[in-house]
Structure 1
């Protein structure tokens, strides 16, 4: 059975407002990201045709330093065409300096672009965010002072959550969502997290904390978030399976959560492998990031389109 076709409204129908003209926009481009998507689209040249300054960067460059240099030279908008990890670096600077931020879908999976409402098939058209854009404010997440746009993942997906004992429909949905968005974390030490009811989870197989919750009750759009401006973290916990009894899994929302462990934790943050020192203190920072997209793009994720 084919998924139903979703309408393609413009962003102006979903809480976005016309953005002010820009004087000096700077776009940071990773030519290698997404298997060379930006190169194949000749994105740098297309951007320069629109009066956008382009800075290319690679694995040996300090993106933080390049961004700070652009800001000190008078940039009034920061954009990036790269993976989700690069997006977080540029977004951090945009928040610090009160500048608008543009996401170009040139990465491999472009999860953030999808949930922001950018048309991932229209890389060159996404440049219109600089010239004819619309703007709004969205939330970001933070873990131990480090910004994340998508999620922080702890534990190993792999065999653990694909175990045959994950039969319960609710747990299957949680596992499917985790599998769609989980980053490259590693075997977790004895994590401990407490839910909003005060129930402890002393040894979960997987913990996923996201900047706004994923749609868990809409199977056609698993792995997307209805909104990035709800002011909440989404938390998903999956217990390891034990014997014939189906494992437990729960999801809830919170404005902050603390995860403890007896040793450093290998985590995936927006798709990048990071080691964090416990306790992990995660929180949401509501409405701190100014984002711009093309007014011709939907401006809402697939699960957001299905929201009543």
Structure 2
């Protein structure tokens, strides 16, 4: 199947979107009013406390920088920086009176209301058409592989075995000594026309690889911890059992898969800081504590840096980077926490993000950009797309985090996109779009889109 360009309209669809309903126009009005009210409350605070608020902002900045300094140092410097962060935050609380704290709470509440109303008003138009989606009937012989340990035991908590049988699907419970790929291959050999996985993204990728090799349809059941793949497929991650409706009357489309060497991944592969931290055995049980323990060696004074070489899109060669993220499709990244989401999974390209950090100068700026959702504005941030990408290193093994799994692989690391490689089924009632597909990129675009809906025009 050939990919349609971004924004293309599927055959049979109307060439012009319908006018917004009265309900959506009312939601647009509510979103704009709440946003304007939040701005008015902020302005009122500045008028009443013209000196206090700027000082409070400065103290917050000091606290953030001190906290970061504490993370990347050890010993006395860590203790001093921690104390400074605590004192700065305490000063903010003392500086702002009760009225100011109430004002902040009101602003936060208004922003939440505005965001919720904007989603109702805009999601219908901002969600891109699903290229090639088609209705399909129930699976003739559906099989669901399940990892009972994944996601803290979601398989048992949501009674997925019983829910699968109720829909005529054969459940296969993964046991400690089982080979997941072998179980998936056996299911296809025995006649399964739809095969699914209830587990984390690493397991999803493995079963998806079996499905794409045999060109059978795949069902993603979000029974893992984060379930990024399910999120970007437009599934409701909070309603795990509902994903099983993809075995009944459903929608099917093709999405891309990415390849690292001969290993399929559905989300992303990371190198640098994050990939090294997740190698620690203590990381999964104590993420923050493990990160705090390792950061001084990775980004603090005297750190060796990361031996990662790659070609930039301008033809120059980079010899190091603090973070390299290669993704199956393009992520919208406002911060590095959680890696954002993807508006499309059928564009046929790898998303590549690199962040280069000078430890003596850039860490406060990076932390500020990260905490305010302006990561793209950090001067060491670069992003581009490519069908292939290669990372070299002078080290015999490179730490890589692939769909959340910690690996050590020999360089060079060769990445490749596989356009439209996987047939995916999703329930008809699923939300149908990732957050990146239904959220405007910035306040200016959001306000413009809301004004269009309010005036009775489609966003696009």
Length-normalised TM-score, structure 2: 0.57
Quick one: distance in 2 between partners of 1:188 and 1:62? Answer: 37
Quick one: distance in 2 between partners of 1:188 and 1:218? Answer: 21
Give yes or no for the alignment of 1:290 onto 2:423.
yes
Instruction: Give the alignment of 1:16-165 within 5 angstroms.
Output: 16-157=133-274
Quick one: distance in 2 between partners of 1:123 and 1:297? Answer: 11
Residues 169-190 of structure 1 show CA distances to partners (whole Å, capped at 9, x for unaligned) of xxxxxxxxxx9xxxxxx99851
Shift of 1:222: 6.5
- Structure 2's unaligned 5+ residue stretches are 1-107, 278-290, 292-297, 299-303, 366-378, 441-459
Quick one: distance in 2 between partners of 1:159 and 1:52? Answer: 40
Give yes or no for the alignment of 1:299 onto 2:423.
no
Larger radius of gyration: 2
Shift of 1:298: 1.7
Summarize the Cα distance change of 1:188–1:87 in structure 2 as closer, same or farther, 3 Å threshold.
Answer: farther
1:255–1:284: 8 Å Cα contact kept in structure 2?
A: yes
Greater shift in the superposed pair: 12-21 or 111-120: 12-21
Shift of 1:299: 1.6
The equivalent of 2:448 in structure 1 is none
Shift of 1:37: 1.2
Quick one: distance in 2 between partners of 1:188 and 1:47? Answer: 49
The equivalent of 1:249 in structure 2 is 381
- Structure 1's unaligned 5+ residue stretches are 161-178, 180-185
Summarize the Cα distance change of 1:291–1:71 in structure 2 as closer, same or farther, 3 Å threshold.
Answer: same
Higher helix fraction (1 or 2)? 2
Summarize the Cα distance change of 1:28–1:158 in structure 2 as closer, same or farther, 3 Å threshold.
Answer: closer
* Residue-pair matches, total: 282
Length-normalised TM-score, structure 1: 0.84
The equivalent of 1:165 in structure 2 is none
Quick one: distance in 1 between partners of 2:202 and 2:361? Answer: 39
Shift of 1:243: 2.5
Quick one: distance in 2 between partners of 1:188 and 1:34? Answer: 33
Q: What's the RMSD between the two structures over aligned residues?
A: 2.7
1:32–1:58: 8 Å Cα contact kept in structure 2?
A: no
Q: 1:264 aligns with which of 394, 397, 401?
A: 397
Instruction: Give the alignment of 1:202-281 within 5 angstroms.
Output: 202-216=319-333, 223-244=340-361, 248-262=380-394, 263-281=396-414
Quick one: distance in 1 between partners of 2:189 and 2:361? Answer: 61
Quick one: distance in 2 between partners of 1:298 and 1:127? Answer: 14
Residues 136-175 of structure 1 show CA distances to partners (whole Å, capped at 9, x for unaligned) of 0000110112111000111114999xxxxxxxxxxxxxxx
Quick one: distance in 2 between partners of 1:265 and 1:132? Answer: 44
Greater shift in the superposed pair: 240-249 or 257-266: 240-249
Summarize the Cα distance change of 1:113–1:251 in structure 2 as closer, same or farther, 3 Å threshold.
Answer: same
1:261–1:278: 8 Å Cα contact kept in structure 2?
A: yes
